Structures are given as C-alpha cells and as structure tokens.
Amino acid sequence: MPHMLITGANRGIGLEHTRVLLSRGWHVSAACRNPGRAGDLKALDPGDGRLSMLEYDAGRPGAGKALAGQVKGPIDILFANAGMFGPREQGFGQTDYAAMAEIAQVNAFAALELAETFAGQVAQSQLKVIALQSSRMGSIADNTSGGYYAYRMSKAALNAIGKSLSIDLKAKGIITLIFHPGWVKTDMGGAGGTLTVNECVEGQLDLIARANPAMNGRFFHVSGEDLDW
C-alpha cells in the first residue's frame, strides 16, 4: 500500500492531502503538534489502520529524528508541509529576531532533518518523492515589494535545502520537488486566496504522480509552471 508521511496534517493543506490520499486507499502517517486536539484529522480515520497520527513539533530540533522508530516501511511521499508565517509585522525595523529563528527552524531546518531521517525509507518506495512546501515569497527573483524578512528568508532557505537534497539524494533515485502551493484559502492564506485546499492538493498530487528525474530539484507552482529562485 502506498504511504505518505506529511507534517502539519491537522489543518489547511496538510489536512486535505491526508483526506485525499486516505480516500484513494493510501496509508498516511500524519504528523501534527497536538494529536489529542486534532479533531478534524481524527475524523478522517477510516479505522482500518491506514491513518497513523504522530506527535511532531517542527519547532523542536530533534523532533524529526524522534519520529524515526514510529514510521515503518517504505515512504512514497515525504511531504514537509508544516509551516508558519510568524508575526504579521515583518517590515524593516520591526524584526523580532527570536521569532525569526523559530520560523527558520520550523519552515526550513525541520525539513532537512526529516529528509536526513527518512531518505532511506523514501528510497525503498515506488514513488521516491520528497516534497517541500515552499512559497513564492521565498523567491528572490520574485521579490519586488520587500519586507516579510522572516518568512521570505525561511522559504529561500528551504529552497536551498531542496536544491542540495535533489543533488545529494539523486543516486538513491529520490526526486525532490519544491512547491509553491498557490495562494490557498487556509488560516495562513486567508479568505482572499485564489485556490481551495482541494484544488491545491489535486494539483500537487498530479505533479507528484508525474515525478520523474527531469523534475528533480525544480521549484514548481502548483500549476506546473517553473518558478525562478
């Protein structure tokens, strides 16, 4: 049975990935900060062992490695999706450096730790995909409006991590995909988003299903368009 490990599975885009793949018969290891309070995630449980809920705080170094023994067997898709925007005020002169360090840990460093922990199990699977939920706000080429120092920096760092993973894990047959999910109606994206979570997830899963070596290490809009770094 195909298997995805995804973080930030209790709401937003991660919850929808979990819902869609469970409906397609997958096993989903769904990691979230507080499984005891993840009612929407728990409600998806088909009750046949295909949903494994795992406690995981991306803000805590070592949390990824601590999952190692809890996720067994091949992992077709390792999806580092959990992310935070941080303080709404991130303009010049407003920087909260403690918050900035936390955002880097959650949005970037945690993804590398997951890859270091689970690359072996991804390599044993059929699909062999590592997906990183980045953002176009991490694109330096696309930055025409400035500000948002913490969030932009963290997603640019995630992109750099993804590029190195695509090179370092290529020999294992792993394909690393770096995604901008679009502007999605979630708590983070807000009601003004142009995509529903389902449109985003169907698009991302289509791209993942087509994953091939030519896509390794590229930065994709959910539409399939390549984005500049």
Using CB under 6 A, pick the residue from 83, 162, 203, 217 that binds ligand NDP.
83
Amino acid symbol at 60: R
Q: How far apart are CA 165 and CA 174, in angstroms?
A: 9
User: Are the beta carbons of 176 and 217 closer than 8 angstroms?
Assistant: yes
User: Are the beta carbons of 129 and 122 closer than 8 angstroms?
Assistant: yes
Amino acid symbol at 182: G
Interface with ligand NDP, residue 74, by CB under 6 A: no
Taking the complex as a whole, the smallest distance from the CB of residue 188 to ligand NDP amounts, in Å, to 3
- Report phi then psi at 156, rounded to 5: -65, -40
Binding positions for ligand NDP, 93-152, rule CB under 6 A: 106, 133, 135
Interface with ligand NDP, residue 77, by CB under 6 A: no
Using CB under 6 A, pick the residue from 162, 189, 203, 217 that binds ligand NDP.
189
Strands 3-7 and 27-32: parallel
Taking the complex as a whole, the smallest distance from the CB of residue 27 to ligand NDP amounts, in Å, to 19
Interface with ligand NDP, residue 58, by CB under 6 A: yes
Interface with ligand NDP, residue 184, by CB under 6 A: yes
Q: With respect to ligand NDP, which residue has the nearer C-beta, 40 or 206?
A: 40
Q: With respect to ligand NDP, which residue has the nearer C-beta, 97 or 126?
A: 97
* Cα angle for residues 25, 55, 180 (degrees, 5° grid): 65
Binding positions for ligand NDP, 8-47, rule CB under 6 A: 8, 10-14, 32-34
Amino acid symbol at 94: Q
Interface with ligand NDP, residue 201, by CB under 6 A: no
User: Are the beta carbons of 54 and 10 closer than 8 angstroms?
Assistant: no
Q: With respect to ligand NDP, which residue has the nearer C-beta, 1 or 68?
A: 68
Q: How far apart are CA 168 and CA 116, in angstroms?
A: 11
User: Are the beta carbons of 113 and 105 closer than 8 angstroms?
Assistant: no
Question: Contact positions toward ligand NDP, by CB under 6 A?
Answer: 7-8, 10-14, 32-34, 56-59, 81-84, 106, 133, 135, 180-181, 183-184, 186-189, 193
